[in-house]
Structure 1
Amino acid sequence: MLTRPRTRFDLIPRRVRVHAVRELSGSLRRTTFRDVDGADPAAPTSLAALRAPGPEDHVKVFLPDPATGVLHAPWIAADGGLQRPADGVSISRDYTVRATRTVDGVAELDVDWVLHGDEGPASAWAARAQEGDEIVLAGPRGSLGVPEGLGRLTVVADETGLPAAARWVDAVGPGVPVTAIVEIGDDVDEAHVEAELGRASVEILYRTDGPGQVEEAVRSLGGLEADELLVALGEAGELVPVRRYLRRELGVGPEQLSISGYWRRGVVNLDHHLPLDPTDPD
């Protein structure tokens, strides 16, 4: 049985600033963060103290009030949870930690964003972000690692799941075969997807070709091997039939699946911790 090691961390808000912005491909943008000026690099609140070892580890990103530009930072309450200020707008979204590193002794962290105009506050902020802008990152609070004994990995993702998919490819090591199915919009270059996923065998689907492609692509792979893990990350509506096929038709156990809806059409700020399919929450 595949078992993923679990690690818990203290929940710590960290105030950071944009160090660099990089256009990746079409609607994809990467921001590199460093500690704010004057921060103590040895303090628990520094980026150097942040740990995100698991491929799907994420932080809660707190953004400035879109109307005023004021950043209302949260703090840790007595119960250990995050407390938001009552006298200001506090907007947050969850984002995968794409990478962490140290450059010339300075800790850095990358977050990749999918831009879709001003329809959402995160997209609107990321589209205008520039060097020196400040936000708050909270977490990760927990981490799920790569299961021991993994023999094969299949990753299913769209643009929102691409950072985690890329981290999965890096995390499993060169001895584990990886198959990736990625659905993208027309403005995302195939070359970027293939570069992010490195040595994986990649099948790219275009969203404009219509719904149902992701399920068909997963069905075409056949069943999972006993030591295989399937990770699926993206739009919840596309992943529900994938999960039903694997769980109900093939009888794949939950220990071989990691399926998470990062967003859902028509839903604002979807909680990806909720069951993907309420009719089958296991």
Structure 2
Amino acid sequence: MENYQKKVMRSVFTVKQKSFITPHYIRVVFEVTNEQLDLLANVKPGSNNKIYISPKGMNLIYFTNKESSVLPELLPVMRTYTTRSIDFEKKELSIDFVAHGDNGPASAWAQKAEAGDILGIAMKESIRDLVPQANEFLLIGDATALPVMGSILEQLPKDVHVKAVLEVHGKKDRINFTSQANVSIDWVYNKHPEKGSELAKFIKRVLLPDTKTKRFAFVAAEYSTVKTLRSYFKEEKGWDKSEFTASAYWKAGKSESESVTERREEKQD
């Protein structure tokens, strides 16, 4: 049990500031206490976390487990997000949210968040790199994947080549990423991602990294796009399973809890 506690941390964080870094992209910066600094010591930016949103009008987070006896109406809503960055000097933790109105509890929370508000966050310790070593990378993602894409680009060394194809709402939602790597980004615009995406079709017109290089593709997007691209790399192009990873971050028309089984099964195919 002691070993498990060292690998997982759960804590309540307080909002320090919030900003719209693009018209459809919100960055929420949380204060980090000295105690939380110790908990975050081995958390990798870009790794997944679980956020806990308290019921409306309640300023308390109940972290649940199998033994919980909390009334259902007091339980928080839980969603999976990405730890965008951790600044140990400034004592800040940042999480980015796609802003799409009240269509989803996390988006609704982020758009209304103010300094002093709280959010429960659970993270696993991880020192593993987000992607394996390679000479050429192909990064493919929709708006929900921008935080992890940003973290990957920041962590890649110089002398590697990166082709990124990223889907956002429009031109004003393009983000300037920082990277030592040689990066080229193609932006795909989609005002209604819940109605379908052209991302997979776009990728099929892209010149893929040559087999002579050590290559790796990282795919993170909506379920249908990920399923299509997984088949494309595996079946049509014959890529080895060690040369790519594909994760469905969401499924159109379904909440995270409703689609979790389907998304997990698709990844195991």
TM-score where L is the length of structure 2: 0.84
Match of 1:263 in 2: 250
Q: CA deviation at 1:52?
A: 2.6
Task: Give the SS at the match of 2:7.
Answer: coil
Q: CA deviation at 1:73?
A: 2.5
Runs of 4+ in 1 over 6 A off after TM superposition: none
Paired-residue identity, %: 19
Gaps of 5+ in 2: none
Q: Does 1:215 align with 2:200?
A: yes
Gaps of 5+ in 1: 1-7
Give per-residue Cα distances to partners, 1:185-227, cap 9 Å, x unaligned. Answer: 13x525x32x026552011111149845212222223444351
Match of 1:123 in 2: 107
Q: Does 1:34 align with 2:31?
A: yes
Match of 1:60 in 2: 50
Give per-residue Cα distances to partners, 1:29-87, cap 9 Å, x unaligned. Answer: 1011113xxx5x1x3xx1343133264x0211111112x32433216x6xxxx865522
Match of 2:177 in 1: 196
Q: Does 1:227 align with 2:208?
A: no
Contact 1:48 1:107 in 2 (8 A): no
Contact 1:18 1:133 in 2 (8 A): yes
**Larger RCO of the pair (alpha carbons < 8 Å, separation 6+):** 1
Distance 1:71 1:59 in 2: 19
Match of 1:91 among 58, 77, 82: 77
Give per-residue Cα distances to partners, 1:108-154, cap 9 Å, x unaligned. Answer: 11000011111211111100111111111111254641555411111
What's the Cα RMSD here?
2.7
- Aligned in 2, Cα 1:15/1:279: closer, same or farther, shift over 3 Å? closer
Distance 2:13 2:20 in 1: 20
Contact 1:73 1:85 in 2 (8 A): no
Number of residue pairs matched by the alignment: 256
- Aligned in 2, Cα 1:47/1:266: closer, same or farther, shift over 3 Å? farther
Whose helix proportion is higher, 1 or 2?
2
Contact 1:74 1:85 in 2 (8 A): no
Distance 1:148 1:251 in 2: 19
Q: Does 1:252 align with 2:239?
A: yes
Match of 2:91 in 1: 107
TM-score where L is the length of structure 1: 0.80
